[in-house]
């Protein structure tokens, strides 16, 4: 495994647009009908990059929501460091600049024999190639008492939108001196540093407005991504405010009491003023219903093309995919989507295929002037996706480096959302 320097990391993190496909050539061929299900990071990127490709295609993107709200940077909104509106992105760019047909509906059923997608409205869309990118679903019931109704009292806020706003309202109305309990999920889950970044940013909010409040993280795991970096940041910025209890200490998270607003572990019951319960996860429901997921709950794919190993002819990208050692992140979903778009375009045009380059990079903000970063490169040549290059910030970096990373994170958000949504 190689280790990247900070300079090389900067190149990777800023390189989201460099892999753009060449503009579509005008040919006399019949157009291939590409249907993409899910207008999140993975689906929107596949749709855009296929529409830009040299292949002759008609691209349709199915997404029930009128706008997409990013999970990434949503904890900055919880901290009061970003507006909710700044997280929202429309689909007009994809429609107007790239000619993608946007259908605001939910895909209800996939018929892989007839090659059609049935929509909740009753309409049926035929396809030549199908890409499925539904993100995640939650394993309700894995924590006793935590079902969909419970999310209205104990929000997960792990898909962005009303849940994020609800959690912010609860933080605002919480009394000073209360305990914010954050339940962190088992692996694999969306955004490995996410729960700990959220704890950091909620601590920042408390430091401003509720300095006697405490944060208790009840973890389903015994360690987490970037642990040393987070614990260093917590001791520097929020001494005595954040306590992390691993599963080996509590015996694991067993149940919630919604009315009592409490979380039960094997040995204790923890009462919360506000509880943010992030449950175990699996591929989005449509992927489960369509037979794309295996017993792990995620969708096995061929890493060269992101074609399903269970349903040939259907591709899966983003968090729903079981992509070897790749994290479930927006950056990774975007990288997978480009590989998938190239593979589909290559098979339609008969052009040469290249071994895919897959990346993940992440900025994690722990205070308004302190961010850390990670960048990971992957190889997919041996049939599995494995880490080949790795960079992670270090404990003890100087304050200016950390301040610069906050500025770079802002720039990344703007460039990345432009790359995804046009
Ligand atoms: C708090 C938090 C912070 C994060 N921070 C970062 C970060 O800093 N960097 C980073 O890279 N990643 C981050 N992530 C992770 C990132 O948000 C996800 O990995 C990414 O959104 C996954 O993209 P996706 O396309 O797979 O799923 P999504 O973006 O969730 O998109 C799925 C889409 O599919 C649609 N859909 C579902 N079912 C259907 C259906 N049946 N028919 C039609 N449409 C359907 C949904 O409406 C949704 O729009 C963070 C996540 C969280 C929760």
Q: Could you tell me the residue ranges of all domains in the chain?
A: 2-137+281-421, 143-277
The pLDDT of residue 352 is: 87
Check if the beta carbon of residue 255 is closer than 8 Å to that of residue 144.
yes
Check if the beta carbon of residue 245 is closer than 8 Å to that of residue 256.
no
Q: Is the pLDDT of residue 12 over 80?
A: no
Ligand 1 in reach of 120 Cβ (< 6 A): no
Helix (H, G, I), strand (E, B) or coil at 57: strand
Rounded distance between C-alpha atoms, residue 125 and residue 147, angstroms: 33
Ligand 1 in reach of 194 Cβ (< 6 A): yes
Q: Going by CA atoms, what residue is nearest to atom 15 of ligand 1?
A: 329
Ligand 1 in reach of 305 Cβ (< 6 A): no
Ligand 1 in reach of 195 Cβ (< 6 A): no
Rounded distance between C-alpha atoms, residue 314 and residue 57, angstroms: 16
Ligand 1 in reach of 284 Cβ (< 6 A): yes
Task: Give the position, in ligand 1's atom list, of the atom nearest the Cα of 317.
Answer: 26
Q: Is the pLDDT of residue 15 over 50?
A: no
Q: How wide is the angle at C-alpha 363 spanned by C-alphas 360 and 366, nearest 5°?
A: 145
Percent of the chain with pLDDT over 70: 93
Q: How wide is the angle at C-alpha 90 spanned by C-alphas 30 and 411, nearest 5°?
A: 110
Ligand 1 in reach of 74 Cβ (< 6 A): yes
Pairing of strands 358-367, 370-379: antiparallel
Ligand 1 in reach of 107 Cβ (< 6 A): yes
> Quick count: other Cβ atoms within 10 Å of Cβ 387?
17
Pick the CATH number of 143-277 from 3.30.450.20, 3.40.50.620, 1.20.1440.230, 3.50.50.60: 3.50.50.60
Contacting residues for 19 by C-beta, under 8 A, at least 6 apart: 338, 357
Contacting residues for 244 by C-beta, under 8 A, at least 6 apart: 217, 219, 231
Identify the sign of the CA torsion 150, 80, 408, 21: positive
Confidence bin at 1 (pLDDT 50/70/90) = low
Confidence bin at 75 (pLDDT 50/70/90) = very high
Helix (H, G, I), strand (E, B) or coil at 165: helix
- Residue-wise pLDDT for 114-171, tens only, equals 999 999 999 999 999 999 999 999 999 999 999 999 999 999 999 999 999 999 999 9
What CATH superfamily classification does 2-137+281-421 receive?
FAD/NAD(P)-binding domain (3.50.50.60)
CA distances from 212 to 16, 144, 178, 279 (A): 42, 31, 8, 27
- How many angstroms does the Cα of residue 279 sit away from the middle of ligand 1? 15
Q: Checking phi first, is residue 365 left (phi over 0); if not, alpha (psi -120 to 50) or beta?
A: beta
Check if the beta carbon of residue 138 is closer than 8 Å to that of residue 144.
no
Mutate to test the pocket of ligand 1, among 45, 191, 373 (most ligand atoms within 8 A of CB): 191
The pLDDT of residue 109 is: 98
Confidence bin at 13 (pLDDT 50/70/90) = low
Average pLDDT over residues 244-252: 98
Q: Is the pLDDT of residue 383 over 90?
A: no
The pLDDT of residue 20 is: 36
E-strand stretches of 71-171? 88-89, 101-103, 107-111, 116-119, 124-126, 129-132, 136-138
Q: Going by CA atoms, what residue is nearest to atom 4 of ligand 1?
A: 72
> Quick count: other Cβ atoms within 10 Å of Cβ 211?
10
Average pLDDT over residues 25-32: 66
Ligand 1 in reach of 60 Cβ (< 6 A): no
Identify the sign of the CA torsion 374, 81, 199, 395: positive
Ligand 1 in reach of 373 Cβ (< 6 A): no
Would the CATH topology of 2-137+281-421 be identical to that of 143-277?
Answer: yes
The pLDDT of residue 8 is: 56
The pLDDT of residue 354 is: 83
Task: Give the position, in ligand 1's atom list, of the atom nearest the Cα of 75.
Answer: 1
Mutate to test the pocket of ligand 1, among 319, 335, 364 (most ligand atoms within 8 A of CB): 319
- How many angstroms does the Cα of residue 331 sit away from the middle of ligand 1? 10
Ligand 1 in reach of 71 Cβ (< 6 A): yes
Omega cis (within 30) before 375: no
Helices (H), 246-380: 247-250, 285-289, 330-349
Confidence bin at 176 (pLDDT 50/70/90) = very high
Contacting residues for 262 by C-beta, under 8 A, at least 6 apart: 256, 269, 270, 271, 272, 275
Q: Is the pLDDT of residue 9 over 60?
A: no
Q: Going by CA atoms, what residue is nearest to atom 52 of ligand 1?
A: 71
Task: Give the position, in ligand 1's atom list, of the atom nearest the Cα of 330.
Answer: 11
Q: Going by CA atoms, what residue is nearest to atom 3 of ligand 1?
A: 72
Rounded distance between C-alpha atoms, residue 6 and residue 375, angstroms: 9
Ligand 1 in reach of 192 Cβ (< 6 A): no
Ligand 1 in reach of 134 Cβ (< 6 A): yes
The pLDDT of residue 26 is: 43
């Amino acid at each position: 495994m190689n280790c990247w320097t900070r300079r090389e990391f900067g190149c990777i993190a800023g390189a989201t647009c460099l892999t753009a496909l060449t503009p579509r050539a005008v040919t006399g061929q019949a157009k291939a009908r590409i249907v993409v299900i899910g207008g999140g990071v993975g689906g929107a990127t596949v749709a855009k990059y296929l529409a830009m490709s040299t292949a002759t295609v008609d691209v349709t993107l199915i997404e029930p929501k009128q706008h997409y709200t990013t999970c990434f940077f949503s904890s900055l909104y919880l901290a009061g460091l970003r507006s909710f509106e700044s997280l929202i992105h429309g689909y007009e760019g994809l429609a107007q600049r790239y000619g993608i047909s946007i259908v605001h509906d939910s895909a209800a059923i996939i018929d892989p024999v007839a090659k059609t997608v049935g929509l909740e409205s009753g309409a049926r869309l035929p396809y030549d190639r199908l890409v499925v990118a539904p993100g995640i679903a939650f394993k309700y019931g894995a924590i006793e008492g935590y079902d969909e109704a419970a999310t209205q009292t104990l929000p997960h806020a792990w898909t962005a939108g009303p849940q994020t706003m609800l959690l912010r309202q609860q933080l605002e109305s919480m009394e000073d001196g209360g305990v914010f309990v954050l339940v962190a999920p088992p692996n694999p889950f969306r955004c490995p540093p996410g729960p700990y970044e959220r704890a950091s940013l909620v601590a920042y909010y408390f430091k401003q407005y509720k300095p006697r409040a405490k944060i208790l993280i009840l973890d389903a795991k015994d360690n987490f991504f970037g642990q040393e970096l987070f614990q260093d940041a917590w001791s520097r910025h929020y001494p005595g405010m954040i306590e992390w209890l691993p599963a080996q200490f509590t015996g694991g998270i067993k149940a919630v009491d919604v009315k009592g607003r409490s979380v039960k572990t094997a040995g204790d019951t923890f009462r919360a003023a506000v509880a943010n319960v992030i449950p175990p996860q699996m591929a989005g429901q449509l992927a489960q219903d369509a037979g794309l997921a295996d017993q792990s709950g995620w969708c096995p794919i061929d890493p060269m093309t992101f074609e399903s190993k269970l349903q040939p002819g259907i591709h899966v990208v983003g968090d729903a995919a079981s992509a070897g050692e790749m994290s479930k992140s927006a950056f990774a979903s975007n990288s997978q989507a480009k590989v998938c778009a190239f593979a589909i375009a290559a098979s339609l045009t008969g052009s040469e295929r290249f071994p895919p380059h897959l990346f993940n990079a992440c900025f994690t903000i722990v205070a308004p002037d302190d961010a850390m970063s990670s960048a990971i490169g992957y190889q997919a040549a041996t049939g599995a996706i494995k880490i080949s290059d790795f960079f992670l910030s270090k404990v003890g970096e100087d304050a200016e480096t950390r301040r610069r990373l906050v500025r770079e994170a802002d720039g990344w958000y703007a460039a990345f959302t432009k790359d995804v949504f046009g």
